[in-house]
Amino acid sequence: MKSALSQLGRRTAPPPVSWLMSTSLARPRLISLAAGFTDNPTLPVDEVRDLLNELLSDRGTGEPALQYGSTQGLPALIDLTAARIQLLEQKAGNHSADKERFADRLVIAHGSQQLLYLVTEVLCDPGDIVLLEDPTYFVYLGIVQSHGLHCRGIRLETDGIDLASLDKTLGNLKKNGALPRLKMLYAVTYHQNPTGTTTSFNKKQAALDMLRHYEKWACHPIYFFEDAAYRELGFEEETEPSALKIIGAAERIIYAGTYSKPFATGVRVGYGLLPQPVRDAVIRVKGNHDFGTANLLQHLLARAISSGTYDVHLKLVRRRYAEKADCMVSAIRTYFPDVVRWRKPTGGMYVWLALPRTVKTGLRSKFFARALDHDVLYVPGQICYAPDPRRPRPNHEMRLSYGNATPGEIKEGIARLGRVIGEWLVEESPRRLSLRPKACNGGPSSS
Amino acid sequence: MKSALSQLGRRTAPPPVSWLMSTSLARPRLISLAAGFTDNPTLPVDEVRDLLNELLSDRGTGEPALQYGSTQGLPALIDLTAARIQLLEQKAGNHSADKERFADRLVIAHGSQQLLYLVTEVLCDPGDIVLLEDPTYFVYLGIVQSHGLHCRGIRLETDGIDLASLDKTLGNLKKNGALPRLKMLYAVTYHQNPTGTTTSFNKKQAALDMLRHYEKWACHPIYFFEDAAYRELGFEEETEPSALKIIGAAERIIYAGTYSKPFATGVRVGYGLLPQPVRDAVIRVKGNHDFGTANLLQHLLARAISSGTYDVHLKLVRRRYAEKADCMVSAIRTYFPDVVRWRKPTGGMYVWLALPRTVKTGLRSKFFARALDHDVLYVPGQICYAPDPRRPRPNHEMRLSYGNATPGEIKEGIARLGRVIGEWLVEESPRRLSLRPKACNGGPSSS
């Protein structure tokens, strides 16, 4: 008897993160620098308790919080979110942002993850194409894989995607008649997961110009999906406006943000600011998903923001991550050999490292197994690259997170990893000399 | 320029319920007997406040509640849910239910609605077929429509689906070679939405036997999807075991339940007990949807159940709905003419009524507009029927909800509706006489 699963059901692969998680559970001494979990000691336990106490001490506010709401989201939270995005834009020098029009295009979701899912679902059929940063947010790759989409990776520079790489990719798709299948360019534009890169406004503008130029061969809008999940997690005041500043953004920019990572990941609330046809479709489909985001969570967030609690907490969280980033960077300086390349993060939760290209760091690599033997876990860089027929996935990088680990764990984890790298390089040098032809077989990666 | 939407994005129709909701907002005097909202005065505002206070007064319990969890759900809530289902089974005389094996097959979701979505998504491709009760839960029809599925409605009797109708439908599908596209039979088995019907265990068993018989031509499992959303909302102790009692249920029964409706709809937590291949696929896809259900809500529910608060509240809610059902029934007896057929509910939130077949009650009917003019809203029966090429959708029924309306509103709403019906029948009788040939044109409905 065959399986009754749908094509999507059969196609959807287990996420690599679930394997990473189960691995960490099985090793009690393990230090995970892999998890995307957030910092425990700064979780706003007292603040959430007080806010919920207020909310639920009055039936006038408590009842609506425990009742169904509307699918697009709590009007008060939508208004606060619109005002918040407007303020972020103003701080970044964009004074044309209009709160009223933002509110008309907002949808609240169970985390920005749900928004990513809904947008992909309403835009992409199997066989459609999305452009992704090289490397990109690997959980998004799960959505892409599940929907049977084709990918093109766009080389990432220190200030965002390489425009020449984007142009060349679009030109090739045009030549092959594939532009009608291209739906969007997805980019994590602030303190990117996994590399920490922040995309300059100029690049966002140039990228959208380029997409619009090629639209005439697509015969439909090609959207720029700006995932701003880490926008509020910079260590300094953010100075780059979002793509919402671009003229015509209302028609082409899909903008996603989240309250979960900065506030509390157990409170899954994110949002999307969407072009009208996308928003209409997303709301219809979200109605089928869940009727709307849990009202209690939305009321909690609305109260956290309007009372100022959210902003006070945000300052604390940003300071905390800045300190833990410093801690990781300083440990890397101490314990890692100089051949390891990396950049100091300016926000977010991750450090991205490149080892010499001969060191394979993937999930099935001996190096990964060795690190596990030393009770330290990282995210292999390879899983952050979209499958792209034009290149093999680079396999010599890693993402390290200082999100959940304590400063002590960060230091010890980096020391362990430093030992693994050091030993590996020592063992490898003679092998490289004797096996040069074989070592070259895989070819250099394209990153 | 064309739309960039996917086939699903373009196909998904706006839910009728959103139109009903916006209609009610525009009329301040309107009494809505349409909404699926729950009773406001019994919402457990104090209880939730106290539970959250406890949870968040200790960082040891507070931090995990505000952090990410695992995709399948909080282990404590899964165990409590398994034990709860086992207890329900025992009370219904099924002593073979095994809590341990239930726990292995459970997934927690953002309401049982998300579970319905996920199951449909992992089982059904466009063009696949599902069997549905005639009438059925109309929000599920939105999922079915969005996924491009074909439907067959199975006639509903007072104790569940008509087995002869099921057999005939399966036989026809076999004859047409369509069984390989048939994925499941979906039934709301306790105090069904919309008719209030509870399916007898014997019928569930016979239905599954029949599905299994026809599987050899489908070449894959045909699942029985038991939506038990109203199982805990009976006015008396429930005596029907679920389909989980059937031998082999672990391989064929998809069982969904919810904590939202009985406890608080603003706390969106439901669950599914699934055959292993379905569960694996659902967890993978849910990972892409949202990584897992908001942990704060799961910790809250786990505490509500383990402390006994949930059960105390459940008694209150059941008594309240029983009282409001009585109130509606007594108003119907007073204000509705005898030609209106209906049954006294034994649980849930709805009364289903059939008017004479000549009275069209659909969304675009003059009768519906007249009711709206009288400031009373109902759910037209027609939207609760799946599109089925074998019959027109019956158009002379309505679903009335006593869930959200107060006793005063129920009485007044029924009185208004009674006037509309009374006037309509008086006006219609001479028309029927003079227009008999035309009135017969639509043909009799099959319900």
Query: What tokens appear for B365 in the block?
Result: 């009917």
B151 in the same domain as B56: yes
Q: Are strands A31-32 and A106-109 parallel, antiparallel or unpaired?
A: unpaired
- Check if the beta carbon of residue B155 is closer than 8 Å to that of residue B134: yes
What distance in Å separates the CA atoms of residue A164 and residue A169, rounded to the nearest whole number? 8
Q: Is the peptide bond before A135 cis (omega within 30 degrees of 0)?
A: yes
Q: Are strands A182-188 and A223-227 parallel, antiparallel or unpaired?
A: parallel
- Nearest CA to B191 out of B136, B234, B137, B247 is that of B234
Q: Are strands B223-227 and B182-188 parallel, antiparallel or unpaired?
A: parallel
CB–CB of B4 and A43 under 8 A?
A: no
Per run of 10 residues, the mean pLDDT along chain A (length 447 residues) is 95 82 77 90 98 98 95 97 96 87 96 97 98 97 97 97 98 98 98 98 98 98 98 94 95 97 96 98 96 96 98 97 98 97 97 96 94 95 96 97 96 98 88 45 38
What distance in Å separates the CA atoms of residue B122 and residue B275, rounded to the nearest whole number? 12
B334 in the same domain as B306: no
Other beta carbons less than 10 A from residue A71's beta carbon:
23
CB–CB of B266 and A12 under 8 A?
A: no
Mutate to test the interface with A, among B18, B45, B55, B144 (most CBs of A within 10 A): B45
In a domain, A69, yes or no: yes
Instruction: Search chain A and give the residue with CA nearest B184.
Output: A4
Strand-pairing partners, residue B182, are B129
A144-182: b (≥16 Cβ within 10 Å) or e: bbbbebbbbbbbbeeebbbbebbbebbeebbeeebbebb
B303 in the same domain as B197: yes
> How close A33 gets to chain B, by Cα (Å)?
16
- Nearest CA to B270 out of B313, B238, B231 is that of B231
How many folded domains does chain A comprise? 2
In a domain, A92, yes or no: yes
Contacts of B436 (CB under 8 A, 6+ apart): none
Phi-psi region of B70 (alpha: psi -120 to 50; beta: other; left: phi over 0): beta
What pLDDT sits at residue A435?
A: 44
- Check if the beta carbon of residue A90 is closer than 8 Å to that of residue A241: no
| Residue B20 pLDDT exceeds 80 | no
Query: What tokens appear for A96 in the block?
Result: 């044309």
What pLDDT sits at residue B26?
A: 74
Strand, helix or coil at B187? Answer: strand
Mutate to test the interface with B, among A66, A124, A214, A406 (most CBs of B within 10 A): A66
What distance in Å separates the CA atoms of residue B407 and residue B328, rounded to the nearest whole number? 8
What distance in Å separates the CA atoms of residue A181 and residue B10, rounded to the nearest whole number? 15
Identify the domain boundary among B246, B280, B310.
Answer: B310
| Closest CB from B14, B113, B285 relative to A291 | B113
CB–CB of A123 and B64 under 8 A?
A: no
What distance in Å separates the CA atoms of residue A114 and residue A136, rounded to the nearest whole number? 17
What pLDDT sits at residue A430?
A: 67
DSSP annotation of B106 reads E
Chain A residues whose beta carbon lies within 8 Å of the beta carbon of residue B12? 122, 281, 284-285, 288
- Check if the beta carbon of residue A401 is closer than 8 Å to that of residue A349: yes
Other beta carbons less than 10 A from residue A112's beta carbon:
23
In a domain, B263, yes or no: yes
What pLDDT sits at residue A432?
A: 56
B50 in the same domain as B31: no
- Check if the beta carbon of residue A170 is closer than 8 Å to that of residue A163: no
* Backbone phi and psi for residue B184, each to the nearest 5 degrees, phi listed first: -165, 165
What distance in Å separates the CA atoms of residue A408 and residue A348, rounded to the nearest whole number? 19
B322 in the same domain as B187: no
| Closest CB from A9, A183, A288 relative to B123 | A9
| Residue B112 pLDDT exceeds 90 | yes
- Check if the beta carbon of residue B383 is closer than 8 Å to that of residue B363: yes
Residue numbers of the domain that contains A14: 7-42+316-426
What pLDDT sits at residue B432?
A: 56
Chain A residues whose beta carbon lies within 8 Å of the beta carbon of residue B121? 6, 8-9
As a whole number, mean pLDDT of residues B54-75 equals 96
Contacts of B405 (CB under 8 A, 6+ apart): B31, B32, B33, B324, B413
- Check if the beta carbon of residue A120 is closer than 8 Å to that of residue A142: no
> How close B179 gets to chain A, by Cα (Å)?
11
What pLDDT sits at residue A173?
A: 98
Contacts of A219 (CB under 8 A, 6+ apart): A180, B1, B2
| A-B Cβ pairs (cutoff 8 Å, strict) | 266
- In which band, very low, low, confident or very high, does the pLDDT at B19 lie, cut at 50, 70 and 90? confident
In a domain, B282, yes or no: yes
What pLDDT sits at residue A428?
A: 82
The secondary structure of B31-76 as a DSSP string is: EES------STTS-HHHHHHHHHHHHSSHHHHHHHHS---TT--HH
> How close B141 gets to chain A, by Cα (Å)?
9
B218 in the same domain as B77: yes
* Backbone phi and psi for residue A187, each to the nearest 5 degrees, phi listed first: -140, 135
Indicate the pTM of the whole model: 0.94
Query: What are the pLDDT digits (tens) for B182-230?
Result: 999 999 999 999 999 999 999 999 999 999 999 999 999 999 999 999 9
ipTM for the assembly: 0.94
In a domain, A170, yes or no: yes
Contacts of A203 (CB under 8 A, 6+ apart): A159, A160, A161, A163
Quote the distance between the C-alpha of residue A145 and its chain's center. Answer: 16
Identify the domain boundary among A267, A286, A310.
Answer: A310
Chain A residues whose beta carbon lies within 8 Å of the beta carbon of residue B310? none
What pLDDT sits at residue A234?
A: 97
CB–CB of B6 and A289 under 8 A?
A: no
B245 in the same domain as B350: no
| Closest CB from B117, B219, B287 relative to A15 | B287
A209-224: b (≥16 Cβ within 10 Å) or e: ebbbebbebbebbbbb
Instruction: For residue B75, count CB atoms less than 10 angstroms from its CB and return exposed for 0-12, middle for 13-18, buried for 19 or more.
Output: middle
Identify the domain boundary among B310, B337, B368.
Answer: B310
CATH number, position A420:
3.90.1150.10
Query: What are the pLDDT digits (tens) for B306-356?
Result: 999 999 999 999 999 999 999 999 999 999 999 999 999 999 999 999 999
In a domain, B435, yes or no: no
Strand, helix or coil at B117? Answer: helix
DSSP annotation of B287 reads H
In a domain, B183, yes or no: yes
Other beta carbons less than 10 A from residue B239's beta carbon:
12
What distance in Å separates the CA atoms of residue B221 and residue B202, rounded to the nearest whole number? 21
CATH number, position A108:
3.40.640.10
- Check if the beta carbon of residue A86 is closer than 8 Å to that of residue A111: no
A97 in the same domain as A29: no
> How close A314 gets to chain B, by Cα (Å)?
15
| Closest CB from A53, A68, A123 relative to B5 | A123
B121-144: b (≥16 Cβ within 10 Å) or e: bbbbbeebbbbbbbbbbbbbbbbb
What distance in Å separates the CA atoms of residue B105 and residue B119, rounded to the nearest whole number? 13
Contacts of A326 (CB under 8 A, 6+ apart): none
What pLDDT sits at residue B8?
A: 97
A107 in the same domain as A188: yes
In a domain, B1, yes or no: no
Tally DSSP H helices, then E strands, for chain B: 17, 14
Query: What are the pLDDT digits (tens) for B373-406?
Result: 999 999 999 999 999 999 999 999 999 999 999 9
Query: What are the pLDDT digits (tens) for B420-435?
Result: 999 999 988 766 554 4
> How close A444 gets to chain B, by Cα (Å)?
32
A88 in the same domain as A225: yes
A217 in the same domain as A126: yes
A109 in the same domain as A21: no
CB–CB of B6 and A128 under 8 A?
A: yes
CB–CB of A117 and B13 under 8 A?
A: no
Q: What is the mean pLDDT of chain B?
A: 93
CB–CB of A285 and B12 under 8 A?
A: yes
Residues comprising chain A, all counted: 447
